[in-house]
Structures are given as C-alpha cells and as structure tokens.
Structure 1
Amino acid sequence: MNKGLSIEKESFDIIEQNVDLSKYSDEEKVVVKRVIHASGDFDFAKTIIFSHNWLTDSKKIIQKKPAVVCDVNMVKAGITEKYLKVSGLTTHCFISDEKIHELAILEGKTRAETSIEYAFKNFDNIIFVIGNAPTALLKVLELNSLYTDKNIFVVGFPVGFVKAEESKEILTKTDIPFITNKGTKGGSGIAAAAFNALIKVCFNV
C-alpha cells in the first residue's frame, strides 16, 4: 500500500473509532465517512440525511448520463477526475459565464439562481451538486415543481446562516432524491466529497 492510501486508511479507521455509524447502511457509511474525512468534522455523522431510495434513484439517473451541474467552480474542482471517467459523466458550472452574469443583473437575481435556471432549460437529466449557495438549492426546489418532465438528483450541502439550513430542510420534504445534511454546515469540499462517494458506491470503485 502506498503512503497516501495508508494515511487514508488510518483516517477512516479513526473516524470509525470516534463516531457511531450504526444507523447508516453500508453504502451510506461510504458517503458519511468521505464527508467527515473531507471536513475533519465528526458532527456530520449525526446530520447527514439520505432520501428513502437514494441509491436506486441515483443509479437510475446515472444510467441516463445526466449533466453534473455544480453551483460554484470550487465544487466542480473538487470532483475527482477518476470518478468522472468511471461514470462517463461531465461536470458543468455556469456561475462565471458572462451571459449568466448579464442575465442575473437584468433580472435582479443571483448568478447562482440564474445558473440553475439555465441548467433546467438546457438539460433533461441533472445531478445538482450544491456546496455554496442556498439560493441555488431554493431555485432547484422551485423549478422542479415547474419542469415536471426533468429527472434530477440533488447532492445539497449549501453553507451559511442565510437560508442554508432552511433550504436543506425543504429539500427533505420533497419527492426529489437527495443527499444532504441538517444545519448550517456544508461547503464546496463537502458537496464534492459526497458526490465522489456517490459515484464510488454506484460503480463499486
């Protein structure tokens, strides 16, 4: 075993020694441990939530070769190239596009909201990976009820004190398949880690 893998294994051993993961399935444990590993925060063992049929639903949408739409470029940067190659998926982030910036100003919306609207208009199958903007998650929730012909999955970990906790709570009450967490914690690295773990579980890599 090379040094990097040895350190990773030791890290996961420490996680298992310090938190109770008994409420999670084996597949869910992979996601939870990856998030804790990425954050150094044991609290995620108590707060991560999965929709009822999240694994089946994620495999179904992955078969449709969905667009992986990230709310910010830091989320996109955190998604491991190996998992994209294995899954055959492509990541997108529109928040820095000039046309998105101009449209957001014109319509009085955030760039995150405008990016989500653009994604809904241009893709039929989407995995949203949200690690920064609560407005992005709220826009997903809003548009999901309008674009009923779309197939989506949400990896939702927006962070902060304005609408982050509320947006995730609303997500858990919808019929959208998801992975999220309770509370204000989250972030780009967390969302990317959860997505990487999702692909790891779905493709057994």
Structure 2
Amino acid sequence: MDKGLSIEKESFDIIEQNVDLSKFSDEEKIVVKRVIHASGDFDFAKQIILSNNWLTNFKKIIQTKPAVVCDVNMVKAGITEKYLKVSGLKTHCFISDESIKELAKLKGKTRAETSIEHAFENFDNIIFVIGNAPTALLKVIELNSLYTDKNIFVLGFPVGFVKAAESKEMLTKTDIPFITNKGTKGGSGIAAAAFNALIKVYFNV
C-alpha cells in the first residue's frame, strides 16, 4: 500500500477507536471521519449536523453538474483535484476578483457577501462550500429565500466568534439541504474535507 494511504488508513482506524460513530449511516461516517481527520478534533463527531434527506438531495444536485462556489481561496485549494476530475465539476471563488472588490466597496458590503450575490446571479445549481466567512453563509440563507428557482446545497463551516455559530444555527432552521456543525469551530480545511468526502461517497472513489 502507498505510504500516504497507509497513514490515512491508520488515522481513520484511530478515529474509529476514539469516537462513537454508531448513530451515523455508512455514507455519513465517511463525511464525519474526513472532517475529524482534517481537523484533528474528535469533538466533530458530536457537533456535525446533517439535514434530513441530505444524501438524496446531494445526489439530485450533483446530477445537474452544479457550480462549486467556495467563499475563500483556501477552501478551493483544499478540494482534491482528482475528485474534480472524477466528478467533472468546476470550483469557483470570486472573493479576490477586482470587480467583486470594487462592487463590495461601492455597496458597503463584505467581499464574501458580494461573492455570494454574484454566484446566485450567475448559476442556477450551486454547491456552496463555506469554511471561513459567516457573512457568506448568512447571505446564502438570505438569497435562498429570494431566488426560489435556484437549486443549492450547502457545506457550512464558517469559523470564529462573530456570527459563526449563529449563522450555522440559522442554516439548520431552513429548508436548504446542508452539512454543518454546532459552535464556533470550522475552517477552510474542514469545509474542503467535507466536499471531498461527498465526492468520494457519490462516485465511490
């Protein structure tokens, strides 16, 4: 076995020895273990929340070849290239675009918010992968109620002490299909790991 794969397998074995995953389905276990592996934090087994029928909804949206919109470039960088090739999906991150910077300044909004607005205006089917900005997740929630013709799925893992926990709690009260976690923990690597896990689940790679 490849040395990298051997280390990964050993890591997953350690995770299974240290946390109770019995409440999760086989598909959910893949997501949870990859999030724990990316974070080094066993607590995520207790904190992760998956919406009802999340897998059915993910399978539906993946068939539309959705745009994968990341809130920051660190999330985009964490998505494994081979999974993109297998899925045929394309990642997008607009936060550093000059047009987004100018528009955000003009509107008095964050670049994260403006990026999400841009995504809703330009794509009909979107998987949002959010690992940094609570304002991005809040904007997704807001615009989902306005763009009722859009088909979205959200991986919501913003991190921090200002609106991160609140935005994730708000997400759980919507009709948006999602995977998120309770509290202030999160991050780009975790959001990317969750997306990679979903591609692994769907394409069995």
**Cα deviation, residue 175, structure 1:** 0.5
**Cα deviation, residue 95, structure 1:** 0.0
Partner Cα distance (2:73, 2:112) in 1: 11
Could you give the per-residue CA deviations for residues 92-139 of structure 1, whole angstroms, max 9, x where no partner exists? 000000000000000000000000000000000000000000000000
Partner Cα distance (2:200, 2:49) in 1: 18
Aligned residues: 205
Q: TM-score if structure 1 supplies the norm length? A: 0.99
Could you give the per-residue CA deviations for residues 39-97 of structure 1, whole angstroms, max 9, x where no partner exists? 10000010001011111100100100000000000000000011101111000000000
Counterpart in the other structure of 2:69: 69
Could you give the per-residue CA deviations for residues 149-186 of structure 1, whole angstroms, max 9, x where no partner exists? 00000000000000000000010111100010000000
Q: Name stretches of at least 5 consecutive residues in structure 1 with no aligned partner.
A: none
Alignment of 1:45-56 (within 5 A): 45-56=45-56
Q: Would you say 1:11 and 2:24 are equivalent positions? A: no
- The secondary structure found in structure 2 opposite 1:148 is coil
Runs of 4+ displaced beyond 4 Å: none
Counterpart in the other structure of 2:93: 93
**Cα deviation, residue 204, structure 1:** 1.2
Counterpart in the other structure of 1:118: 118
Partner Cα distance (1:171, 1:23) in 2: 22
Q: TM-score if structure 2 supplies the norm length? A: 0.99
Cα RMSD, aligned residues only: 0.4
Partner Cα distance (2:74, 2:156) in 1: 14
Partner Cα distance (1:195, 1:183) in 2: 20
- The secondary structure found in structure 2 opposite 1:102 is helix
**Cα deviation, residue 2, structure 1:** 1.2
**Cα deviation, residue 203, structure 1:** 1.0
- The secondary structure found in structure 2 opposite 1:61 is helix
Counterpart code for 2:40: G
Partner Cα distance (2:181, 2:22) in 1: 17
Q: Name stretches of at least 5 consecutive residues in structure 2 with no aligned partner.
A: none
Counterpart in the other structure of 1:20: 20
